[in-house]
A and B are shown apart, each in its own frame.
Chain A
């Protein structure tokens, strides 16, 4: 079945540091890939997505590239801010098993804390 594995957290960085959160997946066919973010006290919201191989999703300075050869979708940001402190979830939607709709399979989440 589908699965998503994220790097273990928590991750603690100083402001302006470079961020990488690793995400690898197992899926049938050609999934769409997503990064969702959950800020303290708020609901899940889409950060970025990519729907086919070699696509790059980007938003708010964050980027992730859909790498089919390594089944990865690593999240990066060149210079993090305190306001980026949140929980980050990698997710996929494969449409496998006849489910042509967008059922999401999530990773376990990575807690990011950025200090001034």
Chain B
């Protein structure tokens, strides 16, 4: 079956440019997470959606980062006025339910390079 997909897979942006990263979760999955993974590090939580509601955005590094999931399916992570420190792999994950025992299924990630 179809897994989590993300697009684009690679994005090169000039500093100051706005970017939009897309995530298509597994159909029917209630929960959707965004993580940021710096080179050589483990992923770090950015934000969480339960259906269309953004319940936790405590991990977003600054107000330049914005995420949405308007219809409770596809999600977009937007970064405004990109900076070099935004260069990382952005991972999307979805899970069927919402509890702490749930398995999260990860997409392949979008590698963002800000020049």
Contacts and interface: CB of A to CB of B under 8 A. Distances in A.
Given A43-B106, A44-B106, A51-B101, A102 B41 contact: no
B106 A95 contact: no
Contacts of A105: 45
A31 to B, nearest CB: 7
Interface in A66-109: 89, 91, 93-95, 99-109
A17 interface: no
B50 A101 contact: yes
Contacts of B48: 99, 101, 103
Given A44-B91, A89-B42, A104 B104 contact: yes
Contacts of A4: 42
Interface residues of B, number: 29
Given A44-B91, A104-B33, A32 B101 contact: yes
Given A106-B43, A107-B42, A109-B42, A100 B104 contact: no
Interface centre among B40, B55, B93, B106 (most CB of A within 10 A): B106
A102 B42 contact: no
A101 B55 contact: yes
Contacts of B42: 4, 89, 91, 106-109
Contact of B41 (A51, A91, A94, A109): A109
Contacts of A108: 40-42
Interface in A3-43: 4, 31-32, 34, 36, 42-43
Interface string B27-43: 00001010100001111
Interface string B76-115: 0000000000000001010100111111111111000000
Interface of A: 4, 31-32, 34, 36, 42-46, 49, 51, 89, 91, 93-95, 99-109
Interface of B: 4, 31, 33, 35, 40-45, 48, 50, 55-56, 91, 93, 95, 98-109
15 contacts: A32-B100, A34-B103, A43-B91, A43-B109, A89-B42, A94-B100, A101-B31, A101-B99, A102-B95, A102-B98, A102-B100, A104-B33, A106-B43, A106-B44, A109-B41
